[in-house]
Structure 1
Amino acid sequence: MDADRVGDAFAAVPRTWFLPPSQQPRASYDGPLDIGHRQTNSQPRTVESMLRLLDVRPGDRVLDVGSGSGWTTGLLAHLTGPEGEVLGLELEPDLVEFGRTNLTHGGWPWARIEPARPGVYGDPAGAPYDRILVSAEAPELPTALVDQLAPAGRMVIPVHGVMLLVEARGDGQPEVSRHGYYRFVPLR
């Protein structure tokens, strides 16, 4: 992905919009910030790395698993542009509402946040997706999410402390590469 596109997204989608008022003065801090409900707004450097690996293109259909405060959903919406579609999923009902409210700052009608269904990874009914971003750590690579990738699709997901890039291939066997060590809240 063109490095400027990710940088432009960060400039266009300020982290401040997606933080509780008590955390807004700390928006420039390069670390995770508490958003309540044992969840965090992820470290900017980590989000940037994930977005570069994901390589979102204009017009992509993107699934944002663990959308939290909605920041990644907004960043993804900027990257897909109005010809794309972004679905954020979040388990915590209060954060679904918080994220939805936060998204209104950017005016991205092609992006939305919906409640995740407990025990269901992603959005099987809405698949396939060109890109899937997972902002919670899985104990192992969830086949259910891999199966939701479109041909030539990409997923970025932390698994057992390692950031993985999963690329769908025509033969049905995904290509998986490792990209550093990270800590996230658990994927439920």
Structure 2
Amino acid sequence: MDAVSSAFEAVPRAGFLPPASQWRADLDAPILIGHGQTNSQPRTVEAMLRLLDVRPGQRVLDVGSGSGWTTALLGHLVGPTGTVIGVELEPALVLWGRANLRRTRFTWADIHQAEPGTLGRPAEAPYDRVLVSAEAREVPQALLDQLGEEGRMVLPVAGLMTLVVRVGEEVVTSWHGHYRFVPLR
């Protein structure tokens, strides 16, 4: 079994959904989690994680961590030698996502309150990987600045799943299908 499939098996979606929606965990659809946010459909999350190509021991930034599901999946992928820093703007989701994450064994992953007007967590950069689960109008320079050497960032930009790869000073961008997400704020 490959690493992404293993992560999905190790981190069941149901534990990151509101109790009234847990029965829908196996549906390949986004599920509302409150505060205008969704838990993304599994096929979309899988596609994003495959593009991100997370490796054990890496430092990963999870922007828009919501219920904590993607943070936990990333925690599985980086393993105990890695670090996952989730950021979420909605205070109630930060608390809920943290509580969900604490029920896992991934002590090397955490969720923090995003600072209004600041994308990511620049004080702890650089990151090997950046996952953004909200749609930007263009690739945010603030997140690109937090991406380390040989880093990869996956995010939806203007409806297209976008992979950004930093190779030295060069940045290579590619697009991988149409998707809809809540807007990046």
Could you say which TM-score interval applies, normalised by the shorter chain? over 0.9
1:176 to 173, 176, 184: 173
Query: Secondary structure of 1:136's partner?
Result: coil
**How far is the alpha carbon of 1:96 from its aligned partner?**
0.2
- C-alpha distance in structure 2 between counterparts of 1:47 and 1:12, whole Å: 15
TM-score by length of 2: 0.99
Task: Give unmatched runs, 5+ long, in structure 2.
Answer: none
Q: Which runs of 4+ in 1 moved over 2 A?
A: none
Query: Secondary structure of 1:168's partner?
Result: strand
Q: After superposition, what is the alpha-carbon deviation per residue over 1:15-66, rounded to whole angstroms, capped at 9, x for unaligned?
A: 0110000110000010000000000000000000000000000000000000
User: Hey, what does 1:185 align to over in structure 2?
Assistant: 182
2:65 paired with 1:90:
no
- C-alpha distance in structure 1 between counterparts of 2:2 and 2:106, whole Å: 20
The residue identity in structure 1 corresponding to 2:53 is D
**How far is the alpha carbon of 1:123 from its aligned partner?**
1.1
Identity, % of aligned pairs? 65
Alignment of 1:25-174 (within 5 A): 25-170=23-168, 172-174=169-171
Task: Give unmatched runs, 5+ long, in structure 1.
Answer: none
Aligned length: 185
**How far is the alpha carbon of 1:106 from its aligned partner?**
1.2
TM-score by length of 1: 0.97
- C-alpha distance in structure 1 between counterparts of 2:41 and 2:9, whole Å: 15
**How far is the alpha carbon of 1:154 from its aligned partner?**
0.2
**How far is the alpha carbon of 1:74 from its aligned partner?**
0.2
Query: Secondary structure of 1:179's partner?
Result: strand
The residue identity in structure 2 corresponding to 1:181 is H
Q: After superposition, what is the alpha-carbon deviation per residue over 1:115-158, rounded to whole angstroms, capped at 9, x for unaligned?
A: 00111111111110000000000011101101111100000010
**How far is the alpha carbon of 1:173 from its aligned partner?**
2.7
The residue identity in structure 1 corresponding to 2:18 is P
